[in-house]
Amino acid sequence: MNSNNLITNSYKNKPSSLGHSHIVPLDFTNMVTVPDSHEWVTESVPVIDLSDPNAKTLIGEACEKWGAFQVMNHGVSMELLNQAELEAFRFFSLPANQKLRVLRSPESIIGYGVPRISSYFPKLLWSENFTMMGSPIDHAAQLWPDQPHKQTTFCDVMEECQKEMKALTERVVELMLESLGLTMEDLKWHSRGQCLFTLNSYPMCPEPERAMGLCPHTDTSLLTVLYQSSCTGLQVFQDVIGWIPVPPIPGAIVINIGDLMHILSNGRFKNILHRAVVNKTRHRVSFAVIYGPPSDEMISPLTKFTNDEHPPLYRPVNWKDYIYSKALHGNKALLHLMN
Ligand SMILES: C=C1C[C@]23C[C@@]1(O)CC[C@H]2[C@@]12CCC[C@@](C)(C(=O)O1)[C@H]2[C@@H]3C(=O)O
Ligand SMILES: O=C(O)CCC(=O)C(=O)O
Ligand SMILES: [Fe+2]
């Protein structure tokens, strides 16, 4: 037999793109640290400095590859973020009977309760949620009826933080559109965008590996802008790799693409699947602006992203109906909208 036909010769003349072809194994005995050459660190979502002149392009790339990124130099005051975190801890540390005064009704979005997505999973979550829209004054009055000072502080901080995070959200939406050659004018409702402000609490858990803080989901929003402070827990899902932690970076804010932005971009921007895991030693709190279009505005793939070769992937839907559909179908809601 011609020796050239043997399988053992398969690598003959193979070009070595990384120059790794003739590496001999490390002598692993007595190694006390891992040399740089052997360090495998899983890449996580990009961190983008909004003062970088290249920020727009980096955002576009991050939206297509990941559907999530962290931003620095975002213009939201650190002092305000710290105050909001403190107020969130104060709220969640209230006795259960006091928090139950502002229990969310089954029909409503706002108020205190289990995260909405709980309803479409068989097991319960190791978390609590308090969602606001605009001023939480009515809820604050129920929470602290005899302490007007506490009501004012809570409302002032929540309203101001919501305002600054909403401004950041709109700036990021603008950069996302610009990265695709569009402007805010292409969203005819752009001055009427609305947001919810939500506080998430993940108490310490005696057996974290048996529990789940927030189960895997994509957000219904256009964009969710989240502050997770210094406690790890948020993870994003990437095909092939699996769950990847989004490490807390001091001062950074996380941006997640939601289902509606995925629809607008006709699938070009990824709606990131994410979850929050819990831990044994720290009570974790996060808060987010959930940004979307006016409730009745129909959202469909922008014409810029559709043509004969790329027909619209989804039928038009408004945010209100989509939220309802998500409550019915959970993570399959988008499939129900497919053409
Ligand atoms: C508009 C909405 C988005 C949201 C579900 C909701 O109907 C109201 C609150 C939002 C929230 C906050 C906590 C996490 C989350 C997954 C949940 O269960 O309720 C989000 C939902 C979302 O982003 O889709
Ligand atoms: O707390 C987190 O890290 C995730 C929160 C989240 O996914 C959400 O509010 O939609
Ligand atoms: Fe989420």
Tell me the pLDDT tens digit for each residue of 235-294.
999 999 999 999 999 999 999 999 999 999 999 999 999 999 999 999 999 999 999 999
Side chain identity, residue 19: G
pTM check: above 0.90 = yes
The dihedral of CA 30, 34, 35, 38: what is its sign? positive
| Confidence category of residue 13, pLDDT binned at 50, 70, 90 | confident
Would you give the distance in Å from CA 182 to the centre of its chain?
Answer: 23
152, 162, 231, 280: CA torsion to nearest 10:
60
Ligand nearest to the CA of 108: 1
Average pLDDT, the chain: 95
User: Which residues have a catalytic role annotated?
Assistant: 284
Q: What mean pLDDT do residues 51-60 have?
A: 98
Residue 2 located in a structural domain: no
Residue 29 located in a structural domain: no
Specify whether the backbone of 141 is left (phi greater than 0), alpha (psi in -120 to 50) or beta: alpha
Q: From the alpha carbon of 286, which atom of ligand 2 is closest?
A: 1
Q: From the alpha carbon of 224, which atom of ligand 1 is closest?
A: 23
Measured CA to CA, the distance from residue 135 to residue 87 in angstroms comes to: 15
Residue 238 located in a structural domain: yes
Cα of first residue to Cα of last residue in the chain, in angstroms, is 57
Residue 18's pLDDT is what? 65
Instruction: Tell me the residue range of the domain where 167 lies.
Output: 45-337
Measured CA to CA, the distance from residue 136 to residue 159 in angstroms comes to: 8
Residue 33 located in a structural domain: no
219 C-alpha to ligand 1 centroid (Å): 7
Residue 263: give its domain's CATH number: 2.60.120.330
Identify which of 128, 130, 234, 253 to mutate to test ligand 2's pocket (most ligand atoms within 8 A of the CB).
Answer: 234
Identify which of 114, 131, 218, 326 to mutate to test ligand 1's pocket (most ligand atoms within 8 A of the CB).
Answer: 131
Residue 19's pLDDT is what? 62
Residue 3's pLDDT is what? 67
User: Does the predicted interface ipTM exceed a cut of 0.90?
Assistant: yes
199 C-alpha to ligand 2 centroid (Å): 9
Residue 154 located in a structural domain: yes
Residue 319's pLDDT is what? 98
As for how many domains the chain has, the answer is: 1
Residues in contact with 257: Cβ distance below 8 Å, sequence separation at least 6, in sequence order:
63, 67, 68, 219, 223, 269, 270, 271, 272
Residues in contact with 338: Cβ distance below 8 Å, sequence separation at least 6, in sequence order:
313, 314, 315
Q: Tell me the three state secondary structure of residue 97.
A: helix
* Integer CA distances (angstroms), 199 to 30, 85, 232, in order: 49, 9, 16
As residues whose CB is below 5 A from the ion ligand 3, the structure lists 219
- pLDDT 10s digits, 186-205: 999 999 999 999 999 999 99
- C-alpha neighbours within 13 Å on the C-beta side of residue 148: 0
Place of tokens 């809570």: 154
CA neighbor of 48 nearest in space, from 81, 74, 10: 74
323 C-alpha to ligand 1 centroid (Å): 9
**Does the Cβ of 248 fall within 6 Å of ligand 2?**
no
Strand order in the sheet with 242-245: 214-217, 274-276, 234-238, 242-245
